């Protein structure tokens, strides 16, 4: 089944720095989504970017999508300790069901 | 407040026992999903339902069963046939069936088999 793969698996940064993580997927999509998961909690939707969009912003989040390379990136600017979480990309399969990658674990230290 | 409620948050089970995880939503969403998450891994789809009285197997349905008798409820039963049931279970819903849109998640249920 189609699945996004995030890179890196883990990322450790200091407060104020930017965090960038990437997602690659296998087949054509109509959208790509990013989710955040705090430890032991459910996932929270962050942003959805459609296949005809190249870049999207939401607060301190910036998402890019390159359909020719089948990849997306999530940038968190001016990170805070509260950004410590796992971040997942997800893409819908041909039946519209979301397939998730293994995630990037981000640790932001004060 | 609208949302998805999963219960119990923590559950312990002896081998050979069936357990049922509850998932209730008041978002008036058509579609509901159950995912399993193992440590350090992504989410794997167990079952999904796009409408009342209908549900479909996901990628790892063996050893699990579901029902969708009401729009608001989508309980998951982990049966004794599930060989490795210890995991974190997440329920989710979406507005439209088959649309590949945003998912709304509950807070999860952690099942431990003793």
Tell me how far CA of residue A110 lies from CA of A16, A25, A81, in angstroms.
9, 33, 6
User: Would you place residue A96 in the very low, low, confident or very high pLDDT band (cuts 50, 70, 90)?
Assistant: confident
Residue B107 to residue A41, Cβ atoms within 8 A: yes
Q: Is A48 on the interface with B (CB under 8 A)?
A: yes
Q: Which of A1, A41, A102 sits opposite B108 (nearest CB)?
A: A41
Q: Which of A48, A101, A103 sits opposite B102 (nearest CB)?
A: A48
Residue A101: other Cβ atoms inside 10 A: 21
Q: Is A25 on the interface with B (CB under 8 A)?
A: no
Q: Which residue has the tokens 């849109």?
A: B101
pLDDT tens digits for range A27-85: 889 999 999 999 999 999 999 999 999 999 999 999 999 999 999 999 999 999 999 99
Residue B96, pLDDT > 60, answer: yes
Residue window 89-108, chain A: list those with CB within 8 Å of chain B: 90, 92, 95-103
Q: What is the DSSP string of A37-63?
A: E-TTS-EEEEEEEETT-SEEEETTEEE
Set of chain B residues whose Cβ sits within 8 Å of the Cβ of A1 = 59
Q: Which residue has the tokens 């989508």?
A: B74
Chains A and B form CB pairs within 8 A to the count of 60
Residue A2, pLDDT > 70, answer: no
Q: Using alpha carbons, select from A98, A93, A92, A71 the residue that is nearest to residue A7.
A: A71
Q: What is the DSSP string of A53-109?
A: -SEEEETTEEEEEETTTTEEEEEE-S--GGG-EEEEEEEE-TTS-EEE---EEEEEE
pLDDT tens digits for range B7-25: 999 999 998 899 999 999 9
Residue B59 to residue A1, Cβ atoms within 8 A: yes
Q: Using alpha carbons, select from B93, B94, B88 the residue that is nearest to residue B8.
A: B88
Q: What is the least distance, in Å, from the CA of A102 to any CA of chain B?
A: 4
């Amino acid at each position: 089944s189609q699945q996004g793969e995030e890179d890196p698996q883990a990322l450790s940064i200091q407060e104020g720095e930017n965090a960038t993580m990437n997602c690659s997927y296998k087949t054509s999509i109509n959208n790509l989504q990013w989710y955040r998961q705090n430890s032991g909690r459910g996932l929270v939707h962050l942003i959805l970017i459609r296949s005809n969009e190249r870049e999207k912003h939401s607060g301190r989040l910036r998402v890019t999508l390159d359909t020719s390379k089948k990849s997306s990136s999530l940038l968190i600017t001016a990170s805070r300790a509260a950004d410590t979480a796992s971040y997942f990309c997800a893409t819908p399969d041909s039946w519209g069901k979301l397939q998730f990658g293994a995630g990037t674990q981000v640790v932001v230290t004060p | 407040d609208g949302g998805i409620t999963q219960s119990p948050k923590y559950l312990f089970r002896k081998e050979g026992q069936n357990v049922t995880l509850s998932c209730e939503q008041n978002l008036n969403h058509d579609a509901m999903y159950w995912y399993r998450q193992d440590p350090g891994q992504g989410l794997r789809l167990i079952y999904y339902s796009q409408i009342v009285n209908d549900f479909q197997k996901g990628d790892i349905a063996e050893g699990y069963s579901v029902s969708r008798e009401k729009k608001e409820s989508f309980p998951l039963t982990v049966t004794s046939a599930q060989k490795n049931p210890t995991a974190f279970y997440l329920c989710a819903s979406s507005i439209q069936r088959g649309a590949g849109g945003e998912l709304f998640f509950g807070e999860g249920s952690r099942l431990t088999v003793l």
